[in-house]
Structure 1
Amino acid sequence: MLLEKFFAFIGEEVIDEEEESFILFSRNIPSANLGFVDSRSTTVDVTIHGRDFSIRQSPTLLSSTRAGGTTGAVLWKITPNFAEWISSKSNNPLWEYSILKSSATIVELGCGISGLVALTLAPLVTRYIVTDQEYVRKLLMENLETNGPTAVESHHRHDLPSSHQRKKQRKSHQISPSTQLARTRGKHAPTDGNDIPTAPANITFTTLDWELDAPRMLKNAVNQTKTRSKAKEHRHAIGQDSMEGVDEGEENDLGFDLLISCDCIYNEALVPPFVRTCVDICRLRPAYDPSICLSPPPSGTTKLPQESSTATVVLIAQQQRSPEVFETWLREALRDFHVWRLKDEVLGKGLMAGTGYVVHAMVLRRQTERKVD
Structure 2
Amino acid sequence: MDPLTSFLATIGEEVEDAEEESFLLFSQDIPSANLGFVDSRATTIDITIHDQDFTIHQSPTLLSSSRAGGTTGAVLWKITPLISSWLTNTTTNPLWTHSLLTPSSTVVELGSGISALIALSLSPKIHHYIATDQEYVQRLFRQNLDENASATTTTSSNTKSQKTNKSSKQSSRKNKPSSGQGSKGSGNGNVTFTSLDWELDIAGSLKESLGLAPTPTPTPGEDKEEEDEEEEDKGFDMVISCDCIYNEALVAPFVRTCADLCRLRPVYTNPDDQDAGGSSRRGNETGRRGRRKPTVCVIAQQQRSPEVFEAWLQETMRVFRVFRVRDEVLGEELKLGTGYLVHVLLLK
TM bucket normalised to smaller? 0.7 to 0.9
Question: Where in structure 2 are the equivalents of 1:258-297 lying within 5 Å?
Answer: 258-291=238-271
Q: CA RMSD in A?
A: 2.6
| Structure 1 residue corresponding to 2:193, chosen from 205, 219, 229 | 205
Q: CA deviation at 1:291?
A: 3.7
- Superimposed CA distance per residue, residues 294-341 of structure 1 (whole angstroms, 9 cap, x where no aligned partner): xxxxxxxxxx94122111000000000000000000000000000000
Q: Secondary structure at the match of 1:13?
A: coil
Question: Where in structure 2 are the equivalents of 1:301-320 lying within 5 Å?
Answer: 305-320=288-303
Tell me what 1:31 maps to: 32
Tell me what 2:100 maps to: 99
The count of corresponding residues between Structure 1 and Structure 2 is 308
Structure 1: state its 5+ residue gaps. Answer: 170-189, 192-198, 232-246, 294-303, 366-373
- Superimposed CA distance per residue, residues 266-302 of structure 1 (whole angstroms, 9 cap, x where no aligned partner): 0000000000000100011111221489xxxxxxxxx
State the TM-score, normalized to the length of structure 2. Answer: 0.82
Tell me what 1:324 maps to: 307
Q: Secondary structure at the match of 2:41?
A: coil
* Contact 1:118/1:128, CA 8 A, preserved across alignment: yes
Separation in 1, partners of 2:347, 2:28: 29
* Contact 1:145/1:200, CA 8 A, preserved across alignment: no
Tell me what 1:369 maps to: none
Q: CA deviation at 1:350?
A: 1.6
* Contact 1:157/1:220, CA 8 A, preserved across alignment: no
* Contact 2:145/2:154, CA 8 A, preserved across alignment: no
Q: CA deviation at 1:132?
A: 0.3
Q: CA deviation at 1:252?
A: 2.3
Cα distance change on mapping 1:292 and 1:219 into 2, 3 Å: farther
Separation in 1, partners of 2:293, 2:107: 13
Separation in 1, partners of 2:45, 2:20: 37
* Contact 1:127/1:225, CA 8 A, preserved across alignment: no
Q: CA deviation at 1:221?
A: 4.8
Asked whether 1:348 is paired with 2:348, we answer no
| Structure 2 residue corresponding to 1:361, chosen from 327, 344, 347 | 344
Q: CA deviation at 1:162?
A: 10
Bigger shift: residues 247-256 or 332-341: 247-256
Identity of aligned residues (%): 56
Q: Secondary structure at the match of 1:128?
A: strand
Question: Where in structure 2 are the equivalents of 1:137-152 lying within 5 Å?
Answer: 137-150=138-151, 152=153
Q: CA deviation at 1:149?
A: 3.2
Separation in 1, partners of 2:267, 2:327: 27
Tell me what 2:317 maps to: 334
State the TM-score, normalized to the length of structure 1. Answer: 0.77
Separation in 1, partners of 2:141, 2:78: 17
Cα distance change on mapping 1:137 and 1:151 into 2, 3 Å: closer
Separation in 2, partners of 1:84, 1:64: 31
Structure 2: state its 5+ residue gaps. Answer: 169-173, 176-186, 218-226, 274-286
Separation in 2, partners of 1:324, 1:254: 35
* Contact 2:251/2:311, CA 8 A, preserved across alignment: yes
Tell me what 1:77 maps to: 78
Separation in 1, partners of 2:212, 2:235: 14
1:120 alignment partner AA: S
Separation in 1, partners of 2:291, 2:66: 47
Q: CA deviation at 1:154?
A: 3.2
Cα distance change on mapping 1:358 and 1:158 into 2, 3 Å: closer
Q: CA deviation at 1:27?
A: 1.2
Asked whether 1:219 is paired with 2:207, we answer yes
